[in-house]
Structure 1
């Protein structure tokens, strides 16, 4: 029987690549998305469409009721989204407190229910400087905990943990993926802003691979 994995699928380019990588490796994929009140909720529209097109089982969980214990981030409040590179201190305002521990815990519960052996999520090397819950030591500890938290052990996998966004994009291009099916911008407007840290990093990844990003931008820095 084909091994089943749960992929935490935001609708962004990293998790989009991860979803297809898992399928390319022969896994039966169950996609899991979360609405935690992110202003870039448009990414969930992308997730729904991709899963519908591929016929992938997809669950979307609304955890906005938890906003009181996950507050203070510019991604979930009226605070202005900072612009520029992730390395800058201002980008720390985009940290959603304990987000990945919460999401991985919920995904592990779903994995047990779905009979999946692993949960995959798209943390990558470019996130290490800003996001504590995207670092290798966090993934290692969560993997250890989730393997003993239930009668059925569930592993936590982050295949991109040592890769930057350019390298992730390169993997997706090898798979022939269409990145117009993704959304990256932290601002949920009609076009990507081109100025927030997420847009800047995405554009640099496409430039590093000498290909044009299919998304439309308000401007590009």
Structure 2
């Protein structure tokens, strides 16, 4: 999972949610010299503000292409992000338990889509903005999970069997939120374009009280950088 020094325009698939982390991931990939192909998902989440944000970010950072794949994880529910009967937590992050905002198998499904597009593009590289620091309870954000999926991807594809070496890049996995923000700021990311909130309104304004908002706001505070987030009136 080590980044190349410079990719010389090679294509890479970037999983782009429209949030702070994925925007930073896109900027890192581009800075490494990759030609970014961004993939977002309309998966039955509570709002589509993040998809609008993803489109803004992809355009601002010069993605070669941005696609939105439609899947229906709301058909299964089991998460506060896909089931309206489960409340979004607003009492802070508890590191000793898996949050109800975990969406069952989401990263596995999204990485599988990314793997398919990468094979078509003849891209050996996929970027995903998973982080094991702020969300250590998410099982599909752990380094060992990424390593296992990477190994599977090399076994499961035609290009892998023919000798291509798939790499899943996780440049944020060991960074704090402040470090992520500092990195993105240095690379010119405009975080006012992003949406991180679990329950943003139709205009993309954040609630300011969910766990995602708490972590984002604390990250800007810790980095000493002005928070450009638009919050709705409470």
Q: Shared fold by TM > 0.5?
A: yes
Instruction: Name the residue aligned to 2:9.
Output: 2
Instruction: Name the residue aligned to 2:79.
Output: 73
Structure 2 residue corresponding to 1:176, chosen from 184, 188, 201: 188
> Number of residues paired by the alignment?
218
Q: How does 1:1-221 map to 2 (within 5 A)?
A: 2-53=9-60, 54-64=62-72, 66-69=73-76, 71-78=77-84, 79-87=86-94, 92-153=99-160, 154-189=166-201, 190=203, 191-218=205-232
Structure 1 outlier segments of 4+, above 6 Å: none
Q: TM-score, normalised by structure 2?
A: 0.87
Where structure 2 has 5 or more consecutive residues not aligned to the other structure, the ranges are 1-7, 161-165
| Partner-residue secondary structure (3-state), 1:125 | coil
Where structure 1 has 5 or more consecutive residues not aligned to the other structure, the ranges are none
| Partner-residue secondary structure (3-state), 2:100 | helix
| Partner-residue secondary structure (3-state), 2:133 | helix
Q: Cα–Cα, structure 1 residues 90 and 186, in superposed 2: closer, same or farther, change >3 Å?
A: farther
Deviates more, 1:27-36 or 1:149-158: 149-158
Give the whole-Å Cα distance in 2 for the aligned partners of 1:119 and 1:55.
14
- Contact 2:49 2:200 survives alignment (8 Å): yes
Q: Considering only aligned residues, what root-mean-square deviation do their CA atoms show, in Å?
A: 1.9
| Partner-residue secondary structure (3-state), 2:116 | helix
Give the whole-Å Cα distance in 1 for the aligned partners of 2:209 and 2:101.
14
- Contact 1:194 1:219 survives alignment (8 Å): no
Q: Higher helix proportion, which one?
A: 1
Q: Per-residue deviation at 1:127?
A: 4.4
- 1:165-187 CA-to-partner distances (Å, cap 9, x unmatched) read 11111101111221001000000
Q: TM-score, normalised by structure 1?
A: 0.92
